[in-house]
């Protein structure tokens, strides 16, 4: 688990099992996928197609499309608008990189 600004709010949260890039993880159940990825220390989800710059969730409100990930086999889902569910499989475009 990474340092998370609001860790104290999550101390008593029930944990939810998810799979990120093939790795089984536990995260507080009330998080969005974007928040869960940050909670686990995944600051970037993909690389910019031209510059190669690492990109990660930015607005957390559905506007910027920087948070696109594959969820349960469906590509290009906005992580910030998706609530985690038990055993959800999440794949970033950086699987194996971070
Ligand atoms: S973080 Fe901006 S659309 Fe998801």
Residue boundaries of the structural domains of the chain? 16-91
Cα gap 39→59, rounded to integer Å: 16
Helices (H), the chain: 7-10, 33-39
Interval 38-82: pLDDT, tens:
999 999 998 888 999 999 999 999 999 999 999 999 999 999 999
Helices (H) and strands (E) in the chain, counts: 2, 7
CA of 59 to the centre of ligand 1 (A): 5
Q: Which of these, 78, 53, 54, 76, lies nearest to 64 by C-alpha position?
A: 78
97 lines ligand 1 (CB under 6 A): no
Cα gap 94→22, rounded to integer Å: 12
Q: And the tokens for 21? A: 């890039």
| pLDDT score of 93 | 85
77 lines ligand 1 (CB under 6 A): no
CA of 76 to the centre of ligand 1 (A): 11
Please measure the distance between the N-terminal and C-terminal CA atoms of the chain and give it in whole angstroms: 14
In terms of pLDDT, which residue wins out, 98 or 30?
Answer: 30
pLDDT interval class at 94 (50, 70, 90): confident
| pLDDT score of 61 | 96
Is 40 within 8 Å of 2 (Cβ atoms)? yes
Interval 2-33: pLDDT, tens:
566 666 667 777 999 999 999 999 999 989 99
CATH of 16-91, picked from 3.30.390.30, 3.30.420.40, 3.40.50.700, 3.10.20.30, is 3.10.20.30
């Amino acid at each position: 688990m990474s340092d998370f600004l609001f860790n104290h709010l999550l101390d008593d949260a029930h944990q939810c099992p998810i799979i990120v890039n093939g790795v089984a993880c536990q995260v507080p159940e009330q998080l969005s996928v974007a928040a869960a990825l940050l909670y686990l220390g995944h600051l970037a989800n993909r690389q910019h197609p031209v510059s190669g710059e690492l990109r990660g969730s930015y607005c957390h409100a559905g506007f910027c499309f920087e948070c696109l990930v594959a969820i349960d086999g469906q590509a290009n889902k906005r992580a910030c608008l998706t609530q985690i569910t038990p055993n959800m499989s999440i794949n970033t475009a950086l699987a194996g990189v971070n």
